[in-house]
């Protein structure tokens, strides 16, 4: 199983992670504003994540952590 974590208060809403996700499950949370005043990125369905880490590598502020966890 894959666990995806976003440091939502550090996200500046650049949307780079949403553009590189092959599954298109990294999306912007248009209902929440973070401490910096931006709409942060989030994941729509963690169960669909294949752990490719494209989003984490693309993030200029390193706010995305991807871990493989045992069930």
User: pLDDT tens-digit profile of 5-53?
Assistant: 999 999 999 999 999 999 999 999 999 999 999 999 999 999 999 999 9
Give the position of tokens 């590189």: 20
Domain ranges of the chain: 2-68
- Give the separation between CA 4 and CA 43, rounded to whole angstroms: 8
Domain 2-68: which CATH class? Answer: alpha beta
Q: Give the pLDDT of residue 70.
A: 86
Q: Give the pLDDT of residue 54.
A: 98
Q: Are 51 and 68 in contact (CB under 8 A)?
A: yes
Q: Give the pLDDT of residue 71.
A: 72
């Amino acid at each position: 199983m894959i666990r995806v974590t976003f440091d939502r208060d550090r996200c500046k809403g650049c949307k780079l992670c949403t553009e590189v996700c092959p599954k298109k499950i990294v999306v912007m949370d248009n209902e929440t504003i973070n401490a910096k005043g931006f709409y942060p990125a989030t994941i729509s369905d963690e169960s669909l994540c294949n752990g490719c880490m494209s989003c984490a590598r693309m993030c200029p502020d390193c706010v995305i952590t991807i871990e493989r966890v045992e069930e």
